[in-house]
Amino acid sequence: AAQRLFEDLMRQRVALAVGALNLLLRGMVIAARRGARGNWAGRAGQLLDYVREEQAMARLVGATVPSPNEESFALTIDLCALGGRGDAFGQAKRLYRSCLQVAPNPNSAVFASMLACAAAADDAAALDEVLALIAERGARVTAHTQRNLLEGIVDG
């Protein structure tokens, strides 16, 4: 009984970490869109690493744990686009590959974020690559996500 209680506490701890991650990422996206400067993608990567460490600790005691969800990855990819530092699209592709480990069929928000990152890089090859990924996965970018994408491009 004590083992199950401990596993449950660890599972809840990771679930809280994932929820807090998404809230922090949303706040970072808002700050970046409003012109705040910083290495947003780097900070988001550190947050994802923290959640992975929490997951590893929970697994040590045998608890099944939630993973960062598609929203976490989409928001982090948004930060790559907004940060405009270095190889933002390369960072976005690495995040996309990490997302595939969690969600083999990512939702439209992930692809919209990838499109925004490719557009921010002003790279036709990157846009073609994202469009090929969308076609390969048979993803549909919803009207709501398209609106959010366009708002992000206009605001950014």
d(CA 81, CA 115): 9
Q: How far apart are the first and last CA of the chain?
A: 52
71-103 pLDDT, tens digit per residue, is 888 888 888 888 765 678 888 898 899 888 888
For every residue of 2-53, DSSP letters joined together read HHHHHHHHHHHHHHHHHHHHHHHHHHHHHHHHTT--S-HHHHHHHHHHHHHH
In three-state secondary structure terms, 63 is coil
Q: How distant is the alpha carbon of residue 52 from its chain centre?
A: 13
pTM: 0.72
d(CA 133, CA 135): 5
5-28 pLDDT, tens digit per residue, is 877 887 787 778 878 888 888 888
**Are the C-beta atoms of 11 and 58 separated by less than 8 Å?**
yes
Tokens coding 95: 């995040």
The pLDDT of residue 149: 61
**Are the C-beta atoms of 54 and 13 separated by less than 8 Å?**
yes
The pLDDT of residue 40: 77
**Are the C-beta atoms of 65 and 59 separated by less than 8 Å?**
yes
Tokens coding 154: 């206009």
All structural domains of the chain with their residue ranges: 2-155
